[in-house]
Amino acid sequence: MCGIVGVVSTTPVNQLIYDALLLLQHRGQDAAGIVTQQGRKFFMHKAKGMVRDVFRTRNMRALPGSVGLGQVRYPTAGNAYSEEEAQPFYVNAPFGLVLVHNGNLTNAQTLRTELFQTDHRHTNTDSDSEVLLNVFAHELERATAGVPLRPENVFDAVRAVHKRIKGSYAVIAMIAGHGLLAFRDPHGIRPLAIGRSADGNVMVGSESVALEGTSHVFERNVEPGEAVFITLDGTVHAAQCAENPQLNPCIFEFVYLARPDSVLDGISVYQARLNLGEALAKRVVSTVPPSEIDVIIPIPESSRPSATQLAHLLGVPYREGFVKNRYVGRTFIMPGQGVRKKSVRQKLNVIASEFKGRNVLLVDDSIVRGTTSREIVQMARDAGARNVYLASAAPPVRYPNVYGIDMPTSSELVAHGRTVEEIRQAIGCDALIYQDVDGMKRAIGSLNKSIVGFDASCFDGTYVTGDITAEDIARLNEGRVGVEENEEDTSRLALPNAQDA
């Protein structure tokens, strides 16, 4: 995942974009970038690191203009350590284009070949976002050949992009001298919202919190397959550019990725997590009698709403047992399993009095690799807990994710190829309770009946784009340079009925 934002204004936007990126920092801490436009000239600064570290006063002064976009990056494809792969990406023709992208293209390798052999365009990095930019540039050049650019030409280019690329993509791009474009893949896997300020600024961003936190009023979501083109005077043009759009948002956004104060596709993330806690309560009761639980403790931060609701329904005291050091990066998005494991105890410290002599039910939003869970269970035991139970508000993560979340290899996933009892033994807890897939989908889907379904591929192995096989995942992993330093053998990939794929 990444966080992206774009603004069209009548006043300088550098500070506005910076503030929006701070609100989206949870979506990526690897790199950050901003590009602005003054006249027909782009001004860009990007580098590895968090927003507060990448941008200094001198950098902000070098970003003039009333139109711009930005991104915080979390690497899922390409090289996690490359400065060159920080976004935005730029090409000088046609017109001059810059682009930021949240998601993951599943046919990037095929597209690279097409770009070189057929479109005669060059890509210089391993990033699928650079591929996407060049595909769009090629199609925009075809759509505007010999004619002035109009919104209809831009939409024709997006229609052609939809036909060529596969995977997940929420995109914001600037066309020099013309305006800002935002579009979303036909399944709406990654979120994208649009809003307006009282003084007429138009902002597009990954989450509603980026709009509301910068004094913009959320207006609506960009629909699956839709393109929105905002001219330099703030006029908004929109068109559906996909043949068969269908809303299938990533369910992991609601489980973990998004901020709880965001609303994605009509669903409050906070309420979704409360509902997950309510559904989880039924699973807990069938495994551990509430009378055997002395206290319920969340594993910060995303699990708090679920843990609160769970404690309320079971009639068990809710306590905070872990204090989080907010100056250590999120372990989930750190490159390198060794770094991730080392950081757990730096990141969390126990309040020993909440554990000593008690039967403790720990609640987490999800369990991915199991490394963090194992460390936390041991921390609870070291603090004196008599029994340590662990409940996950999400089902077992059994399958690779190919749409922009850093869990693409089966060997990384503690639940892959294991029963719940085997996972419990690997983590070291006294009881392990998981949400079930259908319960998760009902809990979240009930908040917006217009959603046809979710991408829940990491839980159920069903890939909504319909084009993923075990061979595809293996190929995608070949391009992941530096995202994981200590991965195990990735050749033993498995999907449901993988032997038939």
Higher-confidence residue of 66 and 328: namely: 66
C-alpha to C-alpha distance for 141 and 149, rounded to whole angstroms: 10
SS3 304: helix
56, pLDDT greater than 50: yes
| Least confident span in 39-53, 57-71, 460-474 | 460-474
| Residue 138 structure tokens | 């090629």
SS3 67: strand
Which helix (H) or strand (E) segment is 3 a member of? strand 3-8
pTM (whole model) above 0.95: no
74, pLDDT greater than 90: no
**What would the pLDDT profile of 15-34 be if each residue is shown by its tens digit?**
999 999 999 999 999 999 99
**What would the pLDDT profile of 211-231 be if each residue is shown by its tens digit?**
999 999 999 999 999 999 999
The percentage of residues in the chain with a pLDDT greater than 70, rounded to a whole number, is 90
C-alpha to C-alpha distance for 101 and 103, rounded to whole angstroms: 6
pLDDT tier for residue 106 given thresholds of 50, 70 and 90: very high
Q: Provide the residue type at 264 as one letter.
A: L
- Please state, in angstroms and as integers, the Cα–Cα distance from residue 356 to each residue in 108, 379, 382, 386, following that order: 52, 11, 9, 7
CB 3 within 8 A of CB 207: yes
pLDDT tier for residue 496 given thresholds of 50, 70 and 90: very low
Higher-confidence residue of 420 and 492: namely: 420
| Residue 312 structure tokens | 């309320």
**What pLDDT does residue 486 have?**
33
Higher-confidence residue of 317 and 329: namely: 317
CB 284 within 8 A of CB 275: no
Higher-confidence residue of 360 and 487: namely: 360
C-alpha to C-alpha distance for 182 and 442, rounded to whole angstroms: 30
- Residue 105, strand partner residues: 167
Question: Within 13 Å and on the Cβ side, how many CA atoms surround 160?
Answer: 18
Q: Which of 2, 241, 250, 458 is catalytic?
A: 2
* Cβ atoms within 10 Å of 138's Cβ, excluding its own: 23
SS3 355: coil
Q: How far is CA 298 from the centre of its chain?
A: 22
**What pLDDT does residue 498 have?**
35
Torsion of CA 376, 379, 384, 387, to 10 degrees: 30
- Residue 480, strand partner residues: 78
Q: Angle 128-143/108-117 helices, nearest 10 degrees?
A: 50
**What pLDDT does residue 343 have?**
66
489, pLDDT greater than 90: no
| Residue 317 structure tokens | 């005291």
Strand-pair category, 236-240 with 179-184: unpaired
Strand-pair category, 216-221 with 226-231: unpaired
**What pLDDT does residue 475 have?**
67
C-alpha to C-alpha distance for 155 and 225, rounded to whole angstroms: 11
C-alpha to C-alpha distance for 99 and 123, rounded to whole angstroms: 14
**What pLDDT does residue 491 have?**
29
45, pLDDT greater than 90: yes
**What pLDDT does residue 477 have?**
63
**What pLDDT does residue 342 have?**
56
**What would the pLDDT profile of 436-476 be if each residue is shown by its tens digit?**
999 999 999 999 998 989 999 999 999 999 988 877 777 65
**What pLDDT does residue 493 have?**
30
**What would the pLDDT profile of 178-188 be if each residue is shown by its tens digit?**
999 999 999 99
241 assigned to active site: no
- Residue 174, strand partner residues: 98, 180
C-alpha to C-alpha distance for 370 and 412, rounded to whole angstroms: 9
**What pLDDT does residue 251 have?**
97
| Least confident span in 43-57, 294-308, 331-345, 392-406 | 331-345
- Please state, in angstroms and as integers, the Cα–Cα distance from residue 154 to each residue in 122, 130, 203, 316, following that order: 22, 19, 19, 57
| Least confident span in 69-83, 217-231, 410-424 | 69-83
C-alpha to C-alpha distance for 263 and 340, rounded to whole angstroms: 29
Query: Smallest Cα–Cα separation from 468: which of 492, 493, 491, 489?
Result: 493
Q: What is the 3-state secondary structure (H, E, C) of 383-428?
A: CCCCEEEEEECCCCCCCCCCCCCCCCCHHHCCCCCCCHHHHHHHHC
**What pLDDT does residue 408 have?**
57
